[in-house]
Amino acid sequence: MTTAISLKSVTKQFKDFQALNEISFDIQEGEFFTLLGPSGCGKTTLLRLLGGFEQTSTGVIELFDEKIENLPANKRPINTVFQHYSLFPHLTVHENVQFGLKMQGVAKAERVKRADEMLALVQLEKFADRKPNQLSGGQQQRVALARALAPRPKLLLLDEPLSALDLKLRQSMRLELKKIQQQTGITFVFVTHDQEEALTMSDRIAVMSAGHLQQLGTPSEIYEEPVNEFVADFIGETNLLNVNVLSKGEQSAEVTIQASDTEHQNSDVIEVPYFNRLFLGPTAKLSIRPERITISPFTGETPLTATVEQSIYMGTDTQYIVILNTGCELLIRSQNITSSKKTFEQGDKVNISFDLSTARLIRG
Amino acid sequence: MKHSISYYPGTKPITVLCLFILYTPLIVISLYSFNSLRSITTWGEFTFDWYIKAFSNPAIQNATMNSLLIAVLASSIATLIALAAAMGMLRGTPLKRQKIVVGVINLPLLLPEIVVAVASLIFFIAIDMTLGLGTILLAHIVFCIPFAYLPISTRLKDIKQSFDEAAYDLYASRWQSFRHVTLPMAMPGIVSGLMLAFVVSLDDFIVANMVAGPGSSTLPMTIYSMLRVGLTPEINAISTILLLVSILFVTASWWCNRSSKSST
């Protein structure tokens, strides 16, 4: 595999605000790579640095081993699908798609042919002669994609392109984007704040927060093995319990769950796996995904008993908020596999269990 | 809380009175330009004679040509300058005293015309320029600039910079981005500015009268000098045409800006 883009200690300083702090990572050729983070985390700034709309303060950006950080946007073989598409309103769909090729000086016959191909790729052949404002949001989105793909860029940047679409359309566009990415083989860098979008489409995800890269990995790595509290909390939902680390081995550590107050002391030692640096003492948190917890009728005093605080029926599953015997609150999601499955009501006493191998110890 | 203006007593009669005072003379002049009698009080029968007569008058012919020539040149040049100014003000890095610069561009709108006229005359004489069509043209270009600048800058403000970014992203140079994106998108504002400038130049009397030399009369000047001999229906006819041209251009200018608004 070749490296398509390589960031080396990239920093971006606006007047009194550090938008990006020493960002370094590589993106492989042909990858669907996502920059994920809450608004203001620096993901859009990073995208603008890649596109050439902003200058790096320090650091190096290499595109297929060539330094590009000082090239202006129009000299980089990189195209962008903008958040609000920015389709040229005075040009037809076909002319919009041809625009990049025309600016590159591609001959007319070739230009028309490529634009036709691109419109076929996004299934908009019939709309070639329309103006952008005669198209729906989803169609405009496809035109923007065709326009950015037409010059066959070495890298395609997508700046939250689905955020303006309604939910149903967004879901179908996710699949379509992924399909088009695989068909064209072009490296995609996708920016989003929507973790579901990131998980469903990406080969790898870079989770960002406050100008820092928090974690980089495949969707399942990010979900299953979050390196810190931010990632665990931002990707999906999770329960974070304060734990006291008693001892640690190669891959697992012995911990006790800390109670929220003194009258609920629980000194049962449990052994859980961990994946990154850990310190002894009350320094860690245990992350347990709500769908990995089993809730069952109360049968006796097991290590974890709880009282149901709230029970919310949500169709595919039922969501419970329970109070553990240690005093902490826990979110549980239980799939409604059969329609007759017994649900628990507020005030019910229940037993809680989870497979320790699915719980993750992270630094607090 | 918003009131309909008819809520205030007397709105209707005041409105009618204002409209009456403003427009009755114009309507009377227009109507009597079709009157076969020389009188402005008694109606004979309908005729186009005065129009034919006006058009065959060599003084009016000459003045019309002068006026059109100056209006076309002055409005085109003023529009070019205004476009360049608007691009500089709205697309360049902001100047240190941007507000003052914009104020200076728009100054001719505020200055009393007679002051501009006298100042221009003194200036032209001081630099020893022969008064004539050339001096009228120069003076017109200057005071037409703000009329072209306003619709152009309004339009440019509405065009988001992200279109420029999209053009750069698609390999356009700065010039290509201007030529293929900004210019066509700003065109309604440019045409609107051009037409406003054209009408303002065509209708100007005070400045032209002051800086014109012998034999370089424009149409409003000719009408004025004919009036001194006496009001003839010929003047009614030519005034009606001027009025129509002005209304047409101002309406077209407004229309251009309006239809462009709905497309962005």
Domain boundaries in chain B?
Answer: 58-263
Predicted local distance difference test score (pLDDT) of residue B144: 92
Is the CB of residue A106 less than 8 Å away from at least one CB of chain B?
Answer: no
Tell me which of A312-326, B59-73, B81-95 is least confident.
A312-326
Cα dihedral across residues B74, B149, B203, B243: positive or negative: positive
Q: Is the pLDDT of residue A232 over 70?
A: yes
Interfacial B residues in 228-247 facing A (CB < 8 Å): none
The predicted-structure confidence for B192-224, as pLDDT tens digits, reads as follows 999 999 999 988 889 888 888 887 888 888 888
Q: Which one, of A187, A172, A205, lies nearest residue A50 by Cα?
A: A187
Q: Is the pLDDT of residue A4 over 80?
A: yes
The predicted-structure confidence for A78-118, as pLDDT tens digits, reads as follows 999 988 889 999 899 999 999 999 998 888 898 999 999 88
Predicted local distance difference test score (pLDDT) of residue B223: 86
Task: Report the top-level CATH class of B58-263.
Answer: mainly alpha
Q: Is the pLDDT of residue B260 over 60?
A: no
d(CA A304, CA B254) in angstroms, rounded, equals: 75
Is the CB of residue A55 less than 8 Å away from at least one CB of chain B?
Answer: no
Please answer yes or no on whether B184 and A90 come within 8 Å at the CB atom.
yes
Predicted local distance difference test score (pLDDT) of residue B263: 46
Please answer yes or no on whether A103 and B166 come within 8 Å at the CB atom.
no
* Least CB–CB distance from A103: residue in B163, B176, B184: B176
Predicted local distance difference test score (pLDDT) of residue A265: 60
- Per DSSP, A36 falls in state E
d(CA B64, CA B239) in angstroms, rounded, equals: 12
Amino acid sitting at position A354: F
Confidence of residue A205 (pLDDT cuts 50, 70, 90): very high
d(CA A128, CA B16) in angstroms, rounded, equals: 53
Is the CB of residue A275 less than 8 Å away from at least one CB of chain B?
Answer: no
Minimum distance, in Å, between the CA of residue B36 and any CA atom of chain A: 51
Cβ atoms of A10 and A46 within 8 Å: the answer is yes
The predicted-structure confidence for B166-197, as pLDDT tens digits, reads as follows 999 999 999 999 999 999 999 989 999 999 99
Is the CB of residue A17 less than 8 Å away from at least one CB of chain B?
Answer: no
The contacts of residue B172 (CB under 8 Å, 6+ apart) are: A74, A99, A103, B180, B181
Is the CB of residue B97 less than 8 Å away from at least one CB of chain A?
Answer: no
Cβ atoms of B144 and B201 within 8 Å: the answer is yes
Q: Is the pLDDT of residue A252 over 90?
A: no
The predicted-structure confidence for B15-51, as pLDDT tens digits, reads as follows 999 999 998 888 888 888 888 877 767 777 888 888 8
Tell me which of A86-100, A201-215, A220-234, B39-53 is least confident.
B39-53
**Length of chain B, in residues:** 264
Strand partners, A241: A286
- Indicate yes or no: pTM above 0.90: no
Confidence of residue B262 (pLDDT cuts 50, 70, 90): very low
ipTM of the complex: 0.78
Residue B143 Cα distances to A248, B79, B116, B117, B209, angstroms: 84, 11, 9, 10, 15
Is the CB of residue A32 less than 8 Å away from at least one CB of chain B?
Answer: no
Predicted local distance difference test score (pLDDT) of residue A196: 86
* Mean pLDDT in residue range A156-179: 86
Q: Whole-angstrom distance between the N-terminal and C-terminal Cα of chain B? A: 31
